[in-house]
Structure 1
Amino acid sequence: MEPRWSYLTDMDGVLVHEEHLVPGADEFLAELRANDISFLVLTNNSIYTPRDLRARLLRTGLDVPETSIWTSAMATAKFLASQRPGGSAFVIGEAGLTTALHEAGYVLTERDPDYVVLGETRTYSFSAITRAIRLIEAGAKFIATNPDATGPSLEGSLPATGSVAALIERATGRQPYYVGKPNPLMMRSALRSLGAHSEKALMIGDRMDTDIHSGIEAGLQTILVLTGISTRESAELYPYRPTRVIDSVAELIGHTKDPFPSG
């Protein structure tokens, strides 16, 4: 019997767009469950805990278990715990990041931390950014959850982790190590948690620069959906291509067992 595909799928721009369900996303996830296909919902957004995200998705009509959610904050905490168990960090971020670090055994402190960890927040504080710069200058290692320069909101783009990281990098001359997409580390840790192998796994995303990039680097098949950031035209600007381009995940309904039909 041929092994089933395992699915990694981005959240924003693939399953939901801000607070609205992408049409067909509920049927798509229901079909994965009905066919006993393993999946994880991935997000570079480090603001929310899996419990928060489950509640947010339920409000849109999507029922995703906490155990099926993997965030850049969780990947960052797992990475730091493997690098320096029981370490300390000065954190700029919200509950998704601080909770993940606490659960990994980290102490959060402003005094001589091992790391400065920069994540997502809707209210970046200039005083916190200044503190981060001074701690990095004093020797703290610089980690960022993800390199996304902007994030979506109902009013338009918001500066995101990558933009604030660039400010800190310019001030300190120290580049951060990004754990989230497009670092394939996030894909590989997600695959390990599923017990899946890259040759029979795929990544669905709406961004060429993070989702498709990291999927390719992790050795996965990739599907670009056009319900988020990238368009058919912008996708052509990149030196790599997704395995498939589809309008939305609704096109996969009825085809989840064979998402890459020949011809």
Structure 2
Amino acid sequence: MKYKGYLLDLDGTIYLGENKIEAGTRFVKRLQENNIPYLFVTNNTTKTPEHVQHRLTTMFDIDTPVETIYTASLATVDYMNELGREKTAYVIGEQGLKDAVYNAGYIEREENPAYVVVGLDNDLTYDKLTLATLAVQSGATFIGTNPDLNIPTERGLLPGAGSIIKLIEVATRVKPVIIGKPEAVIMDKAVDKLGFDKKDLIMVGDNYLTDINAGIENDIDSLLVLTGFTQKEDVPNLPVAPTYVIDSLDDWEF
């Protein structure tokens, strides 16, 4: 089937940590050569879209406009703006997430903020977890940027934002609003950005739990590529099969 637009994962699909997936670079260049619209939809909140763009160019030989990069950080801010509570927030996360939230006019507040936003934080401390827990207990809207329990890297599967979110969820007994894949929040906004009907789009990724379920749960066809999180031996036991499964993005024809 010919698709009018592509929703693309990054980690494990286009690259693996610091390592280029050559077929991923070739895939994006083929999309560009065929004038097929695409949008990188990533649960990674540690980097700004500009940083992601620079990294794609310098490390992975992919020149792409910054407008083609939609992160869970941007989707989080879009969701917060729609909710319309007081613009105060306590954020656990890297600079990419903090920049997105605070540059959108939200004021950092440790006690009684309107929002607690939790993403991946490589400098996580017990004190940060304590502040977030107390704020949620006091009535802050609890937002988790993405549910990824692990991050695929060249070192192996490292703890992801989902692991941190789960800790605060257990401590507060409050379920967070999850923004990133596979949730509808980020997917609906990504679909709107590309401007096509869902039936004309396909979600491409390496992680069944996030990328492929994002397609399955939001009525979008899915393409699982076996270069990252989900392994070939996992495929026969998946509860709902992806629309397509390939070993390499080189195997896909437009």
- State the TM bucket, normalised to the shorter chain: over 0.9
After superposition, give the CA deviation of every residue in 1:157-194 in whole Å (9 maximum; x if it has no partner). 32221111111111111111111011022111011011
TM-score of the aligned structures, taking structure 2 as reference length = 0.94
Q: 1:29 to 1:153 in 2, by over 3 A?
A: closer
1:246 is displaced (CA, Å) by 0.4
Query: What pairs up with 1:31-70 in 2 under 5 angstroms?
Result: 31-58=30-57, 59-70=59-70
Structure 2 Cα separation of the partners of residues 154 and 3 of structure 1: 33
2:155 aligned counterpart, secondary structure = coil
Structure 1 Cα separation of the partners of residues 179 and 232 of structure 2: 27
Show structure 2 runs of 5+ residues with no match.
Answer: none
- Code of the residue aligned with 1:79 in structure 2: it is Y
- Code of the residue aligned with 1:189 in structure 2: it is K
Query: Contact 1:44–1:146 (CA<8 Å) still a contact in 2?
Result: yes
RMSD between superposed Cα atoms in Å: 1.7
Q: Is 2:53 the counterpart of 1:24?
A: no
After superposition, give the CA deviation of every residue in 1:24-49 in whole Å (9 maximum; x if it has no partner). 22222122112211101111111000
Structure 1 Cα separation of the partners of residues 104 and 2 of structure 2: 33
Paired residues in the alignment total 253
Structure 1 Cα separation of the partners of residues 63 and 245 of structure 2: 26
Structure 1 Cα separation of the partners of residues 56 and 78 of structure 2: 24
Query: Contact 1:14–1:248 (CA<8 Å) still a contact in 2?
Result: no
Query: Contact 1:202–1:223 (CA<8 Å) still a contact in 2?
Result: yes
- Code of the residue aligned with 2:36 in structure 1: it is I
Show structure 1 runs of 5+ residues with no match.
Answer: 257-263
Structure 1 Cα separation of the partners of residues 158 and 60 of structure 2: 22
Query: What pairs up with 1:8-23 in 2 under 5 angstroms?
Result: 8-23=7-22
Structure 2 Cα separation of the partners of residues 3 and 22 of structure 1: 24
- Shifted more, 220-229 versus 232-241: the winner is 232-241
Structure 1 Cα separation of the partners of residues 207 and 90 of structure 2: 30
- Which stretches of structure 1, 4 residues or more, deviate above 4 A after TM superposition? none
- Shifted more, 184-193 versus 201-210: the winner is 184-193
Residue 218 (structure 2) aligns with: 218
- Code of the residue aligned with 1:106 in structure 2: it is Y
Structure 1 Cα separation of the partners of residues 133 and 102 of structure 2: 23
- Shifted more, 65-74 versus 156-165: the winner is 156-165
Residue 147 (structure 1) aligns with: 147
1:86 is displaced (CA, Å) by 5.7
1:94 is displaced (CA, Å) by 1.3
Q: 1:247 to 1:154 in 2, by over 3 A?
A: closer
Structure 1 Cα separation of the partners of residues 163 and 2 of structure 2: 41
1:146 is displaced (CA, Å) by 0.6
- Shifted more, 240-249 versus 96-105: the winner is 96-105
After superposition, give the CA deviation of every residue in 1:117-147 in whole Å (9 maximum; x if it has no partner). 0011222121111111111111111110011
TM-score of the aligned structures, taking structure 1 as reference length = 0.91
Query: What pairs up with 1:78-93 in 2 under 5 angstroms?
Result: 78-84=78-84, 87-93=87-93
2:143 aligned counterpart, secondary structure = strand
Query: Contact 2:143–2:178 (CA<8 Å) still a contact in 1?
Result: yes
Residue 176 (structure 2) aligns with: 176
